């Protein structure tokens, strides 16, 4: 796949998929939540699975982060699950998102040329 296969603002290299188990979600606030998340630049897809009460979000981690989604969930009257596994995944997700963001901002530099001060190096 290429960057053209995704929505505006999403790069393939920075794309992550997150599954968030939620509490306090009703059909009324579910639709508002999904539509408000879907409007954010950097979101590739968002859906809510009612049977397992899980929000699935695919997004570019250089533009969005989990804290933004938590604020939107709380604004709609929901919350992340208080289960241990959800807390472990949340910590891991935040760690990976920060790494993706740091790597996206990093400007790689490589100079394979020998320094001119070394003996045997010559100018061409």
Range of the domain at 68: 3-105
pLDDT in tens, 46-80: 999 999 999 999 998 888 889 999 999 999 999 99
More confident: 109 or 104: 104
- Residue-level pLDDT at 123: 56
- Residue-level pLDDT at 64: 86
In 24-95, where do the E strands start and end?
43-49, 54-60, 79-80
Residue 113, in any domain of the structure: no
Residue 17, in any domain of the structure: yes
Residue 41, in any domain of the structure: yes
User: What secondary structure letter does DSSP report for 25?
Assistant: -
- Residue-level pLDDT at 63: 85
Residue 94, in any domain of the structure: yes
Residue 89, in any domain of the structure: yes
Residue 117, in any domain of the structure: no
What is the value of pTM for the model shown? 0.76
Q: In Å, how far from its chain's centre is CA 106?
A: 17
**Number of domains the chain is built from:** 1
Assess contact for 94 and 87: CB atoms under 8 A. no
CATH no. for residue 82?
3.30.70.100
Where do we find the tokens 């790494």?
99
Report the candidate in 37, 27, 19 with the shortest Cα–Cα distance to residue 81: 19
Residue 119, in any domain of the structure: no
- Residue-level pLDDT at 117: 65
pLDDT in tens, 14-57: 888 999 999 999 988 999 999 999 988 888 899 999 999 999 99
């Amino acid at each position: 796949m290429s960057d053209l296969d995704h929505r505006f603002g999403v790069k393939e290299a920075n794309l992550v998929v997150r599954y968030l188990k939620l509490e306090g979600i009703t059909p009324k606030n579910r639709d508002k939540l999904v539509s408000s998340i879907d409007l954010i630049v950097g979101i590739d897809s968002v859906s809510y699975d009612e049977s397992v009460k899980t929000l699935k979000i695919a997004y570019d981690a250089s533009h969005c982060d989990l804290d933004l989604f938590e604020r939107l969930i709380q604004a709609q009257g929901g919350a992340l699950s208080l289960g241990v596994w959800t807390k472990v995944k949340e910590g891991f997700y935040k760690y990976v998102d920060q790494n993706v963001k740091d790597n996206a901002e990093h400007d790689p530099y490589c100079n394979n040329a020998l320094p001119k001060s070394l003996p045997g190096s010559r100018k061409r």
